[in-house]
Chains A and B, each alone.
Chain A
Amino acid sequence: MAKLELRNVVKRFGDVTVCNGVNLDVEEGQMICLIGSSGAGKSTLLRCINLLEHTEDGEIFLDGEDISIPGLDPQAARKKIGMVFQNFNLFPHMTAFENAMLAPMRVYKRSRLDLEKDIRLLFSRFGLSDRMENYPDQLSGGQQQRVAIIRALAMQPEVMLFDEITSALDPQLVGEVLDVLLQLKNQGMTMVLATHEIKFARHAADKICFLKDGKIIEEGPPDQIFGSPKRTATKKFLARALK
């Protein structure tokens, strides 16, 4: 059984169909990269998986349980699915440390003392121990994004979603964030990324999904997608992206 399963997921905003029947299997410990032009539906798909958007049709299974049933409390699923956003979305009135402490303290009602140890460990694991007491606006974009990843990891999620997390960064800061992703992959985290970092996707992903007009029109291991894409749309996109 796949860790995460999408069956015929449909999402509309008014008359516009953004996800048009998406099917996807994510095995435990896999890193899946969603690629495709802007507007293909990558971000919306991730938001649907985290139940930030409700779906019009189809099912989303986490460990075989449908989490997308209308009326179901989304909080239970969100605890297990972490998400990191393009613009970090850190809470500006809290230090990096408090950003990471907030959710586990409130949601799991964990004691501050017990939790502090875990959070400190996370910060040191990702090389940010000396930045814990800084506010987001005192950090570089790369550091902010790493704090956002730590904040999501603090909830001990089973699946992580990354929504173009390097797109808002200066080119020289992209590397440090991608390194964190590799670190997570090596630790066996199940991850779904929407990304424009084609080269990173090629060497790090277990599976590439190419989206067009709200559908996954081609998927497979990186070597196959990059080496011998079957669909002309995929070929065209890759030709442009790799230029």
Chain B
Amino acid sequence: MSDTKAAGMTRRELFEQRQKRRSIVIAGTSTLLVLLAVVILVPLTPGWEKVQKSFFNGAVLTKTFPKLIDAFQLNVLIFIWSAPLIAILGLLVALARDAKSPAMFPLRILGAAFTDVFRGVPVILTVYLIGFGIPGLGLPRPWNSPYIWGSVALILTYSAYVAEIFRAGIDSVHPSQRSAALSLGLSERQIMWDVILPQAVRNVVPSQMNMLIALQKDVSLLSFIGPVEIFRQAGVFKSLLANFTPYVGAAIIFLIITVPATRYADYLLARQSKERS
């Protein structure tokens, strides 16, 4: 049966079928070997038993996991109010940096300084300085909240990166689009809003997705200035139970969110590069 089928195939198809089978066998074997090595060799290490007890403790995991998920809601909340503000501020900074009229010169300088400063300082430092510094001014409630100022720190830092991505997107739109729009009598502002930006934003969606994923993780940095989000909650459990498993639990929760998001961003990117070729 398979012989008659094979007889109906071209040389090329036969060759490709053989190649495909070969690669599947090789990939399968090598994956199996690596897995075996890990499963056999890691437990042979002298400290394995201790590590297993303090990092992969099933009892601790089941006990703390629901509370970790509760704490994670705070991460999601901070993320949800920060992300749109980052998008808006990032776009404004990008536009300010590309402004051409001389009256906009101060804005252009400000935009450049903004991106230089907030891309140049580690996020955790910005979180510390703004998160501790501004409430230190003795503002009345709720304006002394670390939630607000921690979020502000994240928004400022991420806007700087997002602005640079938007600028790259604006540059990626071919100058012939501008020529065409100019020849129709559109003004610079109309060209930016109606012709350049819609294309630029579309071009940078995958890159901005990656920024969102990074932001989701960096929300945890706010734990250093107070808010009890998932990382802090895991720390509390660690001290309470003298066990590191809650950190592993927190990592699992992050991965549940970030892995699909990363896959999706990669998919968008692949689709885009396919469209361009």
Whether a CB of chain A sits under 8 angstroms from the CB of B87 is no
Known: A93-B198, A93-B199. A103 touches B176 (CB 8 A): no
Known: A91-B195, A92-B199, A106-B194. A78 touches B184 (CB 8 A): yes
Interface membership of chain A positions 120-157, coded 1 if the CB is closer than 8 angstroms to chain B and 0 otherwise: 00000000000000000000000000001001100100
Query: Is the Cβ of A78 less than 8 Å from the Cβ of B177?
Result: no
The stretch among B29-37, B185-193, B258-266 that forms the contact with chain A is B185-193
For B193, the closest partner residue in chain A by CB is: A106
Query: Is the Cβ of B190 less than 8 Å from the Cβ of A85?
Result: no
Interface membership of chain B positions 197-235, coded 1 if the CB is closer than 8 angstroms to chain A and 0 otherwise: 011001000000000000000000000000000000000
Whether a CB of chain B sits under 8 angstroms from the CB of A75 is yes
Whether a CB of chain A sits under 8 angstroms from the CB of B270 is no
Whether a CB of chain B sits under 8 angstroms from the CB of A54 is no
Known: A93-B198, A93-B199, A93-B202. A78 touches B182 (CB 8 A): yes
- The listed residue (A52, A74, A106, A152) touching B179 by CB distance below 8 A is A52
CA distance A28 to B179 in the complex (A): 25
CA distance A197 to B186 in the complex (A): 31
Query: Is the Cβ of B186 less than 8 Å from the Cβ of A103?
Result: yes
Whether a CB of chain A sits under 8 angstroms from the CB of B180 is yes
Q: How far is the CB of B192 from chain A (nearest CB, A)?
A: 12
- The listed residue (A75, A91, A106) touching B180 by CB distance below 8 A is A91
Query: Is the Cβ of A91 less than 8 Å from the Cβ of B182?
Result: no
CA distance A148 to B181 in the complex (A): 11
Residues 69-115 of A contacting B (Cβ, < 8 Å): 74-75, 78-79, 81-83, 85, 87, 89-93, 102-103, 106-107
Q: Which residues of B contact A47 (CB under 8 A)?
A: 179
CA distance A92 to B181 in the complex (A): 12
Query: Is the Cβ of A89 less than 8 Å from the Cβ of B184?
Result: no
Size bracket, chain B contacts: 10 to 19
Q: How far is the CB of B102 from chain A (nearest CB, A)?
A: 14
- The listed residue (B180, B185, B195, B198) touching A107 by CB distance below 8 A is B185
- The listed residue (B184, B194, B198) touching A151 by CB distance below 8 A is B184
Q: Which residues of A contact B194 (CB under 8 A)?
A: 102, 106
Query: Is the Cβ of B183 less than 8 Å from the Cβ of A83?
Result: yes
Whether a CB of chain B sits under 8 angstroms from the CB of A195 is no
For B201, the closest partner residue in chain A by CB is: A93
Query: Is the Cβ of A107 less than 8 Å from the Cβ of B177?
Result: no
Q: Which residues of B contact A87 (CB under 8 A)?
A: 176
Known: A91-B177, A91-B195, A93-B202. A79 touches B185 (CB 8 A): yes
Whether a CB of chain B sits under 8 angstroms from the CB of A234 is no
Q: How far is the CB of A186 from chain B (nearest CB, A)?
A: 24
Q: How far is the CB of B186 from chain A (nearest CB, A)?
A: 6
Which A residues have a C-beta under 8 Å from some C-beta of B? 47, 50, 52, 74-75, 78-79, 81-83, 85, 87, 89-93, 102-103, 106-107, 148, 151-152, 155
A-B residue pairs, 3 tightest by C-beta: A89-B180, A103-B184, A83-B183
Q: List 27 A-B contacts (CB under 8 A).
A: A47-B179, A50-B182, A50-B183, A52-B183, A75-B185, A82-B183, A82-B184, A83-B180, A85-B180, A89-B177, A89-B179, A91-B180, A91-B199, A93-B198, A93-B199, A102-B184, A102-B186, A102-B194, A102-B195, A103-B184, A103-B186, A106-B187, A106-B194, A107-B184, A107-B185, A107-B190, A155-B185
